[in-house]
Chain A
Amino acid sequence: MRPGLTRELAPPPRRAPHRRFLPTPALPRDEPGLYPGEPMTCRRNLAAFLLVLAHLALLLAVAKVYRLEGRAFQIMMTLATVALPIHYLLPFRLKLPGFLLASMVGLSLVFGTVTAAIVVTLGVGLILLSRLPISWNARVVAMAAVVAAMAAARAGLARTPVPDVVWPILGSMFMFRMILYLYELKHAETSESFTDALAYFFLVPNVCFVHFPVVDYRTFRRGYFARDIHETQRDGLRMMLRGTLHLLLYRLVYHELLIPMDQVRSVPSLLGFLSCNYLLYLRVSGQFHMACGLLHLFGFSLPETHRHYLLATGFTDYWRRINIYWKDFMVRVVFNPVVFRLKRCGQGPALAVATTVVFLVTWALHAYQSFWLRGTWGVSLPDALFWAILGVLVLVNVQLDARTPRRAKPRAIDLSARPLAIRAAKTVATFATIALLWSLWSSPSLSAWFSMLRRATG
């Protein structure tokens, strides 16, 4: 992977962000902690690394003692702890193959050798298909045809010798990342290496988290050894600790605080249920932090997946803070292309149409995700209403934001009473609205949801 052999130009001239990198010059042969020709970011330091490894071992102990997640997660954490020192000592050119090997071992340990072999074979086939020396449009059509055939097998419409368990694993790795990869292949100025593609699709933590953040290919490549490895690893450990705390808090809420929907009988019990039901999302944010934190350990510097989403002060703010990778995916693949095509219609209509399309696509892709991971589309009236209402709220918010004149962003939060009170009120209102919407989304039916509200209020 080449992004590690790049450095940022300083000061950055007026260039597009993706053009701001230049190859890092090769280093002299006698640099301590480096093999000849390796980038500085890869420089080894035993003391710094042992601290990282000790911290990872401590996190592994926490995962074992608290029995976090399940068998697959325990295997993956153990594998990461064993593989990390080997990966760290490997020459830079072997690090990516080493990472891939760890993924394959993890896949075999969790799902068995036969299942792993089928997943890898089908996955490699999909990657090769996306790289066929034919036009991009023809490749997309061919990919759509193959995915449709796989979907028929997943739905049980077509009989194949492929075990059922293969489809959700393959879906988890390819359902969204292939969209981004094809998008990248269309816009890339240089050819993408096959090893990069393999590493992108067969990510170590994906083995235990089938619900996986939509990692962007370009970001993934650019972040690889883009900074000093120990800094990246330390960021990863902090991310993993945050993930651990989210998962433990989730357990606390799930076992100790959450009441069943049919036990909501009063306004206080309704408020408790709404808050706790929404807080179950801590499991998703915990898993995403864990997954991305682990990738950091192997040199992939990635952005954070969530940013204090419980403290959002509006619906666009919420959309930006929760599942940031999804928001970026939608912005890149849907929002920007739509806005670009409609720019002649004026900013307001273009933003409105683009936001609407983003939420329609998000709704459809959540059903598509449910199909690959669970085998059912999971489309229901509460589900449709959830995305429709959230879409409208964000749409209104986007329009209001667009009409508000831009001001320079303050460096720190104003701590005087009035702005703090306004901020707190906005946060509470956003939390309350999202929690209410979340209860609608998780309700088995619209009548069950209204029935709960009636019991609580009357």
Chain B
Amino acid sequence: MIPPANSSLRVSFAVTAVVLAIALIPLPGNRARSILRSVRSPEPNNADREGHAGGYYVGLIDGGPDMGRDELTLRLLGKTSDWKSFHEIEATRYLRGDFLQFELKPNEDKTVFGKRFTTNDRGLRDRAYALAKPEGTFRVALLGSSMDMGWGVSTDETYENRLEDWLNAHAARRGITRRFEVINFAMAAYSPLHRLEVFRRKARDYQPDLVLYSSTMLDTRLLEIQLRNMLRDDQDPQYDFLRRALAAMDVSPADLRAEKDVIKSKIRPHLWPVIDATVGDLAARCRSEDYGLAMIVIPRVGQSDSPELRGPSIESFAAIASRHAVPLLDLSATFDNRDPATIEIAAWDDHPNALGHKLLFQALAHAIADNVTLYHTIFGVEPPTP
């Protein structure tokens, strides 16, 4: 005889329904919501993410393979049919012995995640621009890393190009004759020092009127990798503040041969001071050349930049911006309360997709509109009254 559904099945059914309801019903309290986000997150945790970021970026910088993303893992975790790592698309030109270490190749046109990854004739992830600034044009130079470069999105979908389109449209709506060009100097794995160097070597040639210096919560990690490689390759630090910082780290040849943790422990106390000095140097250069400068903070998608985890980094960025009298546009809350699945390019990749970039653009446009001084700098007029 078929036994009726017994009570333990009903209990099992009820428990399953409760587990489902917990995920769907809005929970009271930040802590409860944070825990739920963790339980729903298929991403690596912070420690693994840092290790993986190291693997990914070390692989990118040193030209090695992308770690841990073999065909099997990707098939099991979820991969689009045309997935490639940044290293695999071979859009990077390595500059051995050069402080910049690597840059984008010009005139690249690859398909990644079904989107076109293109670079212009000057090796920028952007539309084509003449070096000489056209008359009546206001130029914005964006310095940043992969979030700003745009990975897994097409060139026109990056928040930077959406911003350019909006600036022109907004100016036209307000009857302002000024044209706008936002030029993207960002590159995957560029640390704060790389960004400063790109400003010095590339961005200045375009005579920008405003420099947007983009920061992420991964900056300390990127800087650590760059400094470790500099020490290993005995590169010239180029900047006096960096020379002093490296001397203070007191890394011996024996440290360089020891386990990674040894050198990491010597570098880590100096990471924030180096970022501070980098922004200070950039601010001084912008001031001397009469360029405007603003800092923005761009979040990654998912748990890694949750409000609890990003708090200390945001405080540090705010302190640095304040010390150097640079306006800070904190966009780090852009992805809060959003389902990461809808704005990440893949479960294992915390770069924003096209929707994520659209949200970043909207947050940036609002921040500009809310900052009277910055709005005036950009448009040359006062912001419209609400």
Contact = CB atoms under 8 A, between A and B. Distances in A.
Contacts of A208: 76
B130 interface: no
A69 B71 CA distance: 17
Interface in A147-165: 163-165
Contact of B35 (A33, A110, A168, A256): A256
Contact of B12 (A55, A61, A62, A67): A55
A43 interface: yes
B19 A165 contact: no
B5 A59 contact: no
B15 A66 contact: no
A208 B76 CA distance: 6
A71 B78 contact: yes
Contacts of A169: 72
Given A71-B77, A165-B71, A65 B23 contact: yes
A72 interface: yes
Contact of B16 (A111, A165, A241): A241
Interface in B1-37: 2-6, 8-9, 12-13, 15-17, 19-20, 23-24, 35
Interface string A241-267: 100110010011011101110100000
Contacts of A259: 47
B112 to A, nearest CB: 18
B39 A66 contact: yes
A241 B12 contact: yes
Contacts of B75: 71-72, 110-112, 165
B69 to A, nearest CB: 12
B341 interface: yes
B80 to A, nearest CB: 10
A67 B45 contact: no
Interface residues of B, number: 37
Q: How large is the interface on A (under 10, 10 to 19, 20 to 34, 35 or more residues)?
A: 35 or more
B20 A71 contact: no
Nearest to B303: A255
A58 B78 CA distance: 22
Interface in A69-84: 69-74
Given A165-B70, A228-B2, A237-B12, A251 B76 contact: no
A66 to B, nearest CB: 5
Nearest to B13: A55
Given A245-B19, A260-B47, A252 B70 contact: no
A164 B17 CA distance: 41
B16 A228 contact: no
A67 B47 contact: no
Nearest to A112: B75
B347 interface: yes
Interface in B340-386: 341, 347
Interface string B240-284: 000000000000000000000100000000000000000000000
A210 interface: yes
A45 interface: yes
B3 A70 contact: no
Contacts of B303: 255
Contact of A256 (B5, B16, B38): B38
Given A231-B3, A256-B35, A71 B17 contact: no
Contacts of A71: 75-79, 347
Contacts of A222: none
B15 A241 contact: yes
B42 interface: yes
A321 interface: no
B39 A251 contact: yes
A234 B6 contact: yes
Interface string A9-22: 00000000000000
A289 interface: no
Interface of A is mostly: helix
A16 B47 CA distance: 53
Interface in B68-94: 70-72, 75-79
Contact of A62 (B8, B16, B70, B71): B16
Contacts, number: 118
A231 B5 CA distance: 9
Nearest to A262: B261
A172 B269 CA distance: 45
Q: Which of B19, B35, B75, B347 is packed against the most chain A CB atoms within 10 Å?
A: B75
A43 to B, nearest CB: 6
B23 to A, nearest CB: 5
B39 A248 contact: yes
A448 to B, nearest CB: 8
B101 interface: no
Contact of B20 (A65, A73, A210, A262): A65
B42 A62 contact: no
A238 interface: yes
B40 interface: yes
A164 B4 CA distance: 49
Contacts of A58: 13, 16-17, 20
Contacts of B17: 58
Nearest to B19: A62
A258 B24 CA distance: 26
A453 to B, nearest CB: 16
B41 interface: yes
A62 B303 CA distance: 20
A230 interface: yes
A255 B45 contact: yes
A69 B72 contact: no
A169 B76 CA distance: 11
Given A165-B70, A251-B39, A55 B76 contact: no
Nearest to A445: B259
Contact of A230 (B2, B15, B347): B2
Given A66-B23, A67-B347, A238 B12 contact: yes
Q: Which of B4, B76, B79 is packed against the most chain A CB atoms within 10 Å?
A: B76
A95 B46 CA distance: 46
B71 A164 contact: yes
Contacts of A74: 78
A372 to B, nearest CB: 11
A214 B9 CA distance: 27
A65 B17 CA distance: 12
Given A65-B20, A231-B3, A70 B261 contact: no
9 contacts: A33-B2, A48-B2, A51-B13, A55-B9, A62-B16, A65-B20, A72-B75, A169-B72, A248-B39
Interface of B: 2-6, 8-9, 12-13, 15-17, 19-20, 23-24, 35, 38-42, 45-47, 70-72, 75-79, 261, 303, 341, 347
Given A62-B19, A248-B19, 8 more contacts: A55-B13, A55-B16, A67-B40, A72-B77, A234-B9, A244-B19, A245-B15, A255-B303
Per CB-CB distance, the 10 closest pairs between chain A and chain B, nearest first, are A71-B78, A255-B38, A260-B47, A70-B77, A165-B71, A45-B2, A72-B76, A65-B23, A58-B16, A67-B42
Interface of A: 33, 43, 45, 48, 51, 54-55, 58-59, 61-62, 65-74, 110-112, 163-165, 168-169, 208, 210, 228, 230-231, 234, 237-238, 241, 244-245, 248, 251-252, 254-256, 258-260, 262
